[in-house]
Amino acid sequence: YMYTKNRKLDPKIRIDDFSKCFEKLSCAAIETILNEATLIADLKGNEFITVQDIAEAGQKTGTVNIKLI
């Protein structure tokens, strides 16, 4: 939860599912993905970070292939 504290996540994202995807990642990897997802959401003009933004960020950073909901 601490990684999402100051970020506007889509209300459809369930934190429990979200956290399972990042279970084996380092703190730095999680931060990298969420920072990239924030940039992606901003570039798209989204008010919230969506599941798609997080998945795209995971692929773009080469950190993980995230499959949420």
Distance, C-alpha 61 to centroid of its chain: 11
pLDDT, position 3: 61
How far apart (Å, rounded) are the C-alpha atoms in residues 66 and 60? 11
pLDDT, position 68: 55
Render each residue's pLDDT in the chain as its tens digit; 69 residues.
556 666 788 888 777 777 777 878 888 888 898 899 999 999 999 999 988 898 899 889 877 666 654
pLDDT digits (tens, 9 = 90+) for 53-62: 988 998 898 7
- The answer to whether residues 34 and 7 touch, using CB atoms and an 8 Å cutoff, is yes
pTM (two decimals): 0.79
pLDDT, position 69: 47
